[in-house]
Each structure stands twice: as C-alpha cells, then as structure tokens.
Amino acid sequence: MAAKDISVQMPVHVAIIMDGNGRWARSRGWPRLVGHRRGAERVKQIVKACPDLGVRYLTIYAFSTENWKRSTEEVLGLMTLFSRYIEREAEGLNAEGVRMRFIGDRGPLDGRLRRLMDGIEERTAGNERLNLTVAINYGGRNELARTARALAAAAARGDIRPDEINEEMLSRWLDTGDLPDPDLVIRTSGETRISNYLLWQSAYAEYEFTPTHWPDFTPEELASILARYSMRDRRFGSVKA
Ligand code: IPE
Ligand code: IPE
Ligand code: MG
C-alpha cells in the first residue's frame, strides 16, 4: 500500500476574541470583574499550551476601542488587571520563551500601564518560542485610520511616494507589521461577529465560533478546534489542480 501523506495542516497564527467573561460571572451571581480575573487565568493556560500545539503566533483581544463605553468601574478594573498580569507574569513568560507585544492605540492608556507594556516588549524581544500579541485599545478601523494618517504624513515629508503604497506596504505599516496574517480566528461565547478585530489581516482567515465562555475555554478545546482546522480546504480564491 502506498504511504499516505500524513503532513497535517496546522495554523501558524491563531487569533482569539476572548468573549463571555461578563456572562460567565453574572450567571453565577458574581460581579463581571470576577469573570475577567478568571479569563486572565485562562490566558496563562492557553499561552502555555500553544507551543506544544504547534501555534507560533497567538494574538488575543483584550480591550477594544469600543469597550470604553462600559462602566468606569469595569474599565478601570480591566486596566488594573492588564498591569497586574504584566507585573506578575513577566518573569514566567520570559522563562517560557514568550515574546510579548501589544497592538492598538496606546495614546489614551494610563502612563504606568504603557511603561509596563514597553518594558515587557523590550525584555522579551529576543524570545522565539511563542509570539504573544495582546490587543489593548485595539480596533481594526482605528488601526487603519492611524496607518493612513502615518502614510500620508510620510508622503507629505517626502519619505515615501504615494504611488509606492500597495497592499504589502500597508500591511507592514499596520500595528501587526511584524506578524503573519492570522490563519484562524476563534471567538468564544457564542457571538458570531468580528467586533472590529483584525479587519485587514483576517481577509483570508478561517473562523471558529464556540459557545464556550472564555473562562471555561480549555487547551483541550483549542486542540479539538485545531484538529477541525486541519481538515479545512483553504483555497485563497484558487481552484484545486
Ligand atoms: C470579554 O468578555 C472581555 C472584554 C471584552 C474585555 P465580556 O466582558 O465582553 O463578557 P460578556 O460578553 O459581557 O459576557
Ligand atoms: C470584543 O468583545 C472585544 C474583546 C473581546 C476585547 P465585546 O464583548 O466587546 O464585543 P461586542 O460588544 O459583543 O460586539
Ligand atoms: Mg462581550
């Protein structure tokens, strides 16, 4: 019998919309922030599991440009959680070979959080085992508008010519300029929408929507989603020979 091709298609870059923390907590009669805290615990487990599952890039949506519409208490609680996560996890992430980066508009963020973000980016810059990117105050439209502004300013200065702006160049100027496009976007909590996440980058991503709320999402569920992904036929507009 001829040997079968057993090479398995695995995603290099997985992007996750971590949704459902609030509902997870409320359904138990707890404040929404308890759900966010549990969600942060899940992030640690998923980050640990990724390299062994063959995922080299993990990009997670932590706070959108629209999430400022929430109560001051929830927004401040989330910002505190981000700072604490960086402070507490920096050493462990570095030891695990994780390179941590952030995408999104940092301008409106608190100065202390920004310094922590810059610090861990710098400290982990040489790591290669897993590229963890956290989207904070991120919105796909905001990113495209900021990038358009930066390109226009560069053209006005004479640093670039308008006619050299193409898809490849725009990709490089985005917050995600150093990352490959996501192969797979996962959203938890049963909502089937994108909510302004990686609009440009996900043009040809595969999507998975699971009813599981983020605090209940396990490495085992991720593994089974990856197994389903491996069966998908990605054509990118072409047809099979
Ligand atoms: C996702 O959980 C985390 C953030 C958006 C910060 P939610 O807070 O949106 O939880 P639900 O969707 O209200 O349950
Ligand atoms: C998307 O979730 C943003 C994050 C997960 C950070 P939301 O809960 O904010 O999205 P909508 O409002 O349900 O679309
Ligand atoms: Mg939500």
How many other C-beta atoms can be found within 10 angstroms of the C-beta atom of residue 104?
24
Per-residue pLDDT at 2: 47
H/E stretch holding 16 reads: strand 13-17
- Rounded to an integer, the average pLDDT of 72-96 is 98
Rounded distance from Cα 21 to ligand 1 centre (Å): 5
- Rounded to an integer, the average pLDDT of 103-107 is 98
- State what percent of residues in the chain have pLDDT above 90: 96
Predicted structure pTM score: 0.96
| Model pLDDT for residues 151-182, shown as the tens digit of each residue | 999 999 999 999 999 999 999 999 999 999 99
226 lines ligand 1 (CB under 6 A): no
Q: Give the Cα separation of 174 and 80 in Å (integer).
A: 27
Atom of ligand 2 nearest to the CA of 195: 14
| Model pLDDT for residues 11-64, shown as the tens digit of each residue | 999 999 999 999 999 999 999 999 999 999 999 999 999 999 999 999 999 999
Is the predicted pLDDT of residue 201 greater than 90, yes or no? yes
Which ligand neighbours the alpha carbon of 78 most closely?
1
34 lines ligand 1 (CB under 6 A): no
Q: What are the structural domains, with CATH classification, of the chain?
A: 13-139+182-228 (3.40.1180.10)
For the range 147-151, what are the long-range contacts, defined as Cβ-Cβ under 8 Å and sequence gap of 24 or more? 147/173, 147/174, 147/175
Is the predicted pLDDT of residue 228 greater than 70, yes or no? yes
